[in-house]
Amino acid sequence: MAAVTCYTGLLLQRCIESDQLSKTYPEVGFSAFDRKGLVIISVFMYLELYLVPTGFLIMEGDNLHKLFPDVGFQLGTHEIGGRQFFIVMAGLVVLPSMWLKDLSKLSFVSACGVVSSLVVMGSIFWVGEFDGVGFRGKGTVLFDLSGVPKALSLYAFCYGAHPVFPTLYSSMKDKSKFSKVLFISFGLSTLSYISVAGMGYSMFGRDTLSQVTLNLPGGKISSKIAIYTAMAGPIAKYALIITPIAEAIEGSLPSPYNNRPTCILLRTLLLISTVIVALLFPFFGPLMALVGAALNVTVSILFPCACYLKISKAYQRWRLETVVIFGIIVFGFSIGVLGTYSSLKGIVKHAN
C-alpha cells in the first residue's frame, strides 16, 4: 500500500508539471476531465475531510473514557455514558478554534507530528518492556483472511494525504525535491506504522483494539503519556482539516450573507453535525476503514491514475508503465468494493 500510494503521488506530480495552472487537487481533476472531474474530486475530497475529524472526536471519546471509566450521569430518563459525554466535551474544546479565520496559530501542530509520534512509540515500548505487560501476545500470522479488505482499507486511510500534494508541490521553493520529500515521508511513516503495529500485536495478540492506546494499562504514567499525546494532535488538527469545507460553503454564499456572524454560525453547525455523527456511529475502526475504502482509495489511488492516463494520454500507447497503472486501478477498485462492504458490515454489527 505504501509503494502504490507513493507512486500515485508521483503521478499527481506529473499531472501538475504538465499543466502549470493546476495548483490544487480539484484543478488537476478539471485539467483531466473538465468540470465533471473538478466536481467529482471535490465531492470525494470534502467527504474525506468531513469524516476524518469525525473520527478524531470518536478517538477522543474512546481514550478519555479509558482514562476516566466512571464518568457518566443521568439526564432525566436518559443515561449519558462517559464516551458520549467526552465526545461532546471534545467538540466544545474544538469550537473556539473553528471560529478562527487565520489558522496559522494552529499550523505548528503539523511540525510537531513527528515528535508526538516518537513520544507515543516510546511510551508504548516502555509499557511493554518496563511496566509489566511484556511482549507475550498470542496469535498467528494469518488467522482471518476475511479481515484483509478491512486491513487494506485502514492502510489506505494511513496513506491518504494526496489532496494536499498539489498544494504542497506548488508552494515548494525547489520543486525538484518533491519526489525526495515523498519518499522520505512515506518511508518514515511506514517504519512508524510497522513499529507500533509490531509492538501492539506482540504485546496484546488478537486482543489488540482498533486504537492500541485502549489496550494500555490505565494506571501507568507511560500509558497516560501515550494516550494524552495521541489525543493532543487531533484536537488541534480538527479545525485545520475541516476548514476547507467551511471556506467552500462560505464562498458559495451571496455577498450580503458572507459576514462574520454567518460564518461563525455555519462553522458551529458544521462542528455540531460531526459531533452528532460521532455519537450515532461511535465505531472508530470500522468508520476509518470505511473512509479508507470508499474515499481514500478513490482519492489516493484511482483518481491519480485516471487523471494521469487522461492528461498524458498514456492509455493510447501500451507500455509497461501503462500496464502497471491499470493493474493499480484494478487493485484499488477491488479494495474499494470489498473494503467498503466489510466496513459497512462492521458498522452494522457494532450498531446492533
Give mean pLDDT, residues 328-340: 93
32: pLDDT strictly greater than 70 = yes
Strand-strand pairing, 78-81 and 72-75 = antiparallel
Cβ–Cβ under 8 Å, residues 111 and 309: no
Condensed to tens digits (0 to 9), the pLDDT of residues 292-302 reads 888 999 999 99
223: pLDDT strictly greater than 80 = yes
Give mean pLDDT, residues 264-291: 89
pLDDT for position 39: 93
- Kindly calculate the radius of gyration of the chain based on its CA atoms and give it in whole angstroms: 21
Cβ–Cβ under 8 Å, residues 83 and 62: yes
Distance of CA 249 to CAs 242, 257, 258, 269, Å? 11, 12, 10, 12
As a whole number of angstroms, the distance between CA 267 and CA 287 comes to: 23
184: pLDDT strictly greater than 90 = yes
pLDDT for position 250: 86
Residues facing residue 78 across a β-bridge: 75
pLDDT for position 171: 78
106: pLDDT strictly greater than 70 = no
Residue given cell 500496464 in the structure block:
323
pLDDT for position 36: 94
Of 87-96, 138-147, 202-211, highest mean pLDDT? 87-96
What pLDDT band is residue 102 in, cutting at 50, 70 and 90? low
Query: Which percentage of the chain shows pLDDT scores above 90?
Result: 30
Helix (H, G, I), strand (E, B) or coil at 75: strand
The overall average pLDDT reported for the chain is 85
4: pLDDT strictly greater than 90 = yes
Query: Which percentage of the chain shows pLDDT scores above 70?
Result: 93
| DSSP element (H, E) containing 197 | helix 178-204
CB burial readout 29-52, b (16+ within 10 A) else e = bbbbbeeebbebbbebbbbbbbbb
pLDDT for position 260: 85
Distance of CA 51 to the CA centre of its chain: 8
Give me the DSSP letters along 80-127: EEHHHHHHHHHHHHHHHHHT-S-GGGTTHHHHTHHHHHHHHHHHHHHH
pTM of the full structure: 0.82
The phi and psi torsions of 67 (rounded to 5 degrees) equal -75, -35
Which of 96-110, 203-217, 218-232, 244-258 has the lowest average pLDDT? 96-110
Cβ–Cβ under 8 Å, residues 207 and 138: no
pLDDT for position 33: 92
Distance of CA 123 to CAs 131, 228, 234, Å? 10, 11, 18
Q: Output 88 or 244, whichever has higher pLDDT.
A: 88
42: pLDDT strictly greater than 70 = yes
What pLDDT band is residue 179 in, cutting at 50, 70 and 90? very high
Provide the 10 A C-beta neighbour count for residue 144.
Answer: 10
Give mean pLDDT, residues 30-41: 92
Cβ–Cβ under 8 Å, residues 292 and 151: no
As a whole number of angstroms, the distance between CA 232 and CA 216 comes to: 17
What pLDDT band is residue 267 in, cutting at 50, 70 and 90? very high
Q: At what angle do helices 113-130 and 178-204 cross, to 10 degrees?
A: 20
Condensed to tens digits (0 to 9), the pLDDT of residues 123-167 reads 999 998 888 888 887 767 666 777 788 888 888 888 988 888 887
Domains of the chain: 1-351 (1.20.1740.10)
Question: Among residues 319, 26, 311, 293, which one has the least CA distance to residue 167?
Answer: 26
303: pLDDT strictly greater than 90 = yes
Cβ–Cβ under 8 Å, residues 271 and 95: yes
Give mean pLDDT, residues 94-120: 74
pLDDT for position 153: 87
pLDDT for position 227: 84
As a whole number of angstroms, the distance between CA 221 and CA 60 comes to: 18
* Max CA separation in the chain (angstroms): 69
